Amino acid sequence: MFRIVATPWRYRYILDSAQGRRSGCFFCAYAEAPERDLEDLVFFRGRHVFGLLNRFPYMWGHAMVAPYRHVGDLVELSDEELAELLRSTYRAKAVIAEAVGCGDIAVGINIGRVAGAGVADHLHVHLVPMCKEIDPSTPSKELEDALRRLAEDLARRFT
C-alpha cells in the first residue's frame, strides 16, 4: 500500500528509537498535554480519540488518528471508542483531502512491529494522501513550520 520514498528526516526518529531514547509512548505524552497541541501537531481532540500530523511524514499531509488510551489492538477498544475512531478517521480523511487538495488517501492500520508500526503498542490509524511526496532536501525547520501551518488549517476545518 505504501511506496518506498526517500525520507531522510525520518532517520533521527529511527535512530532515536533504535537507541532507546523513545522508550516512553509519544501518543500518550501528546494525549496528556493539550496545552502543547500546536507544537505536537495535534489538530483534533474528540472524546476518546485525537488526530495529529506525522512529524516524520512520507507524504504531505500524512496524519494519524489514535485513541487516548494506550492499547495495541482494535479488540481492546470499547464499542464507543471504536465507533469514534472510525467516525473521526472518516472525518479527518475529508478534511485532509480538502486542505491538501488530494482525494487519494491511503487509510490503514499496522498492527504489530513486523507489520511496520513505528509505535507498536499504541494503536493508530494512518491517513496518507498519495499526491505529494516531500522533497527530501527540505530543511527540517521549514518542514516543521509548514507542518504547524497545516495543523492549524486542519484544526480550523475540523471544528
Binding site for Zn ion (CB under 5 A): 25, 27-28, 70, 122
For the bound state, the minimum distance from the C-beta of residue 12 to Zn ion, rounded and expressed in Å, comes to: 20
> 19 by DSSP, 3-state: which?
coil
> 53 by DSSP, 3-state: which?
strand
Are the beta carbons of 122 and 28 closer than 8 angstroms?
yes
Closest CA to 69 of 38, 36, 28: 28
Name the active-site residue from 62, 122, 124, 126: 124
Catalytic: 70?
A: no
For the bound state, the minimum distance from the C-beta of residue 71 to Zn ion, rounded and expressed in Å, comes to: 8
CA angle 81, 148, 139 (to 5 degrees): 125
For the bound state, the minimum distance from the C-beta of residue 120 to Zn ion, rounded and expressed in Å, comes to: 11
Give me the residue whose beta carbon is nearest to Zn ion: 25
User: 42 or 59, CB closer to Zn ion?
Assistant: 42
Please give the positions annotated as active site.
124
